[in-house]
């Protein structure tokens, strides 16, 4: 596979179902609530074309680590979206080959898949300590829509 | 003439109160501001996690704040922590793995 957007995630962007905007007190269920997940692709085979929600086949088993609600930076010129780096402390579990960002609606059946990476420096990652997901500090930040 | 009843007056001998050092009762807390969004497990079996958002102020146990500061996860903004030796620093940093997403998005 490759890094990319879930096509259904982009559909939800275009329909205004979620937005990438700073919120000092993000709350699960709001349209600006996102989480980062570390995913074991032995359990989950990504399908950017069809998968839409976090209850996609194999994803529940594949998620090894879940972040708190992310601190977003307002979407900027040319569709650049950014966020604070994400740190998972005291990790344990299977080796993870994928990183997922999804909007948090409060349940797996409603959480909207948005971004996927399986190519990055440091992947695959062996869990067992602290894992920092450091978003790009260059031009693209978390992503360019 | 009035006779007082002859109560047997027993009084428990007072025991001295034992005091514990404050450090054994309350773990010293320091104020911190995370540089990143941090999370960790409270109870993995019950799937309970804690999380701290970047840029907001929290109070942490001194030992944990010291560890996280050494790892570069947060800044200590109030209170003091013990110095970190070179050995401790190396041990803390050996626990950190970094995934860099540089330029590979979307």
Residue A40: cis peptide before it, omega within 30 degrees of 0: no
Enter the pTM of the model: 0.87
Contact call for residues B76 and B57 (beta carbons, < 8 A): no
Chain A residues inside the 8 Å CB shell of B55: 71, 84
Portion of chain B with pLDDT greater than 90, in percent = 56
**Residue A21 confidence (pLDDT) above 70:** yes
**A125 in contact with B, Cβ within 8 Å:** yes
**B38 in contact with A, Cβ within 8 Å:** yes
- HSE-up of A36 (CA within 13 Å, CB side)? 28
ipTM: 0.93
Q: Given pLDDT bands bounded at 50, 70 and 90, which one contains residue A11?
A: very high
Positive or negative CA dihedral for B14, B20, B22, B26?
Answer: negative
pLDDT of A53 = 96
A141/B105 CB distance under 8 A: yes
């Amino acid at each position: 596979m490759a890094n990319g957007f879930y096509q259904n995630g982009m559909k939800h962007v275009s329909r205004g179902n979620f937005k990438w905007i700073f919120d000092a007190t993000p709350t699960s269920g709001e349209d600006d609530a996102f989480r980062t997940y570390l995913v074991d692709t032995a359990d989950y085979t990504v399908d950017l074309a069809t998968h839409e929600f976090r209850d996609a086949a194999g994803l529940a088993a594949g998620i090894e680590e879940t972040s708190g609600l992310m601190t977003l930076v307002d979407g900027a010129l040319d569709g650049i979206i950014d966020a604070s780096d994400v740190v998972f402390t005291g990790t344990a579990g299977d080796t993870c080959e994928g990183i997922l960002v999804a909007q948090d609606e409060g349940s797996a059946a409603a959480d909207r898949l948005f971004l996927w990476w399986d190519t990055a420096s440091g992947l695959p990652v062996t869990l067992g300590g602290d894992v920092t997901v450091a978003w790009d500090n260059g031009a693209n930040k978390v992503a360019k829509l | 003439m009035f006779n007082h009843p002859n109560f047997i007056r027993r009084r428990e001998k007072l025991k001295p109160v034992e005091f514990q050092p404050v450090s054994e009762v309350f773990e010293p807390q320091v104020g911190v501001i995370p540089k990143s969004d941090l999370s960790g497990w409270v109870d993995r079996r019950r799937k309970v996690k804690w999380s701290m958002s970047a840029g907001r102020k929290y109070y942490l146990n001194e030992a944990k704040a010291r560890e996280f500061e050494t790892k570069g996860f947060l800044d200590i903004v109030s209170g003091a922590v013990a110095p970190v030796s070179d050995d401790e620093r190396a041990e803390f940093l050996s626990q950190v793995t970094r995934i860099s997403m540089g330029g590979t998005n979307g």
